[in-house]
């Protein structure tokens, strides 16, 4: 079982330590929550996909982080973020002596986690979006405000599968303002 693998547990511990050391309140929770949602969606997820779930946003925890440039499209910014996260997890997996095949597979999952593509990467994209709504939306709203939150809701919701949309719709938000924005976004999307 993967969870009992020393190699996996050592890498997982290092990933979570990197997030915790950066001291960004939402990142360790989002990493773990994405991993947990991945396992709920696919109980047989490969070790590479589980690592990708834990490390998909590792760029945010290692300076210099990727930030959206003035006049840069959101899609381009997200692609740069995913590419850097992919390179960072590659380095960590090599350090932990993972096989080249595992490294390449995980790197590709992380590189494409914002857009999906194949079945496994789509599962990762779903888990990431569900986790955003489950753990990060309150923080995002507080930091970015209602307009950016609306844009993020639309981005995170539109990119997922019907399965993930059902899960996201079933989540209850603590903040009534977020709940209202979410309902408004859904009515605009449909």
Q: pLDDT band for position 1 (50/70/90)?
A: very low
Q: For 23, what's the count of Cα atoms within 13 Å in the CB-facing half-sphere?
A: 0
How far is it, in rounded angstroms, from Cα 94 to Cα 123?
Answer: 24
How many domains in the chain?
Answer: 1
Percentage of the chain lying above the pLDDT 90 cut? 86
pLDDT of residue 22: 76
Q: For 85, what's the count of Cα atoms within 13 Å in the CB-facing half-sphere?
A: 31
81 closest CA partner among 59, 106, 113:
59
Percentage of the chain lying above the pLDDT 70 cut? 95
CATH of the domain at 103: 1.10.3210
Domain enclosing residue 138, as ranges = 2-189
Q: Over the chain, what is the mean pLDDT?
A: 93
């Amino acid at each position: 079982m993967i969870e009992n693998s020393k190699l996996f547990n050592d890498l997982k511990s290092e990933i979570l330590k990197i997030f915790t050391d950066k001291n960004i309140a939402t990142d360790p929770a989002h990493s773990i929550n994405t991993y947990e949602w991945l396992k709920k969606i696919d109980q047989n997820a490969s070790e590479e996909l589980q690592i990708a779930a834990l490390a998909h946003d590792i760029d945010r925890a290692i300076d210099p982080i990727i930030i959206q440039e003035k006049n840069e499209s959101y899609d381009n910014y997200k692609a740069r973020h995913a590419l850097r996260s992919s390179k960072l997890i590659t380095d960590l997996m090599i350090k932990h002596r993972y096989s080249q095949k595992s490294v390449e597979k995980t790197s590709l999952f992380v590189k494409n986690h914002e857009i999906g593509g194949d079945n496994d990467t789509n599962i990762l994209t779903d888990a990431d979006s569900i986790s955003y709504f489950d753990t990060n939306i309150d923080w995002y709203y507080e930091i970015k405000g209602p307009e950016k939150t609306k844009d993020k809701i639309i981005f995170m919701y539109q990119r997922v599968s019907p399965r993930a949309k059902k899960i996201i719709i079933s989540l209850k938000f603590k903040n009534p303002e977020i709940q209202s924005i979410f309902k408004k976004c859904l009515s605009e999307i449909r």
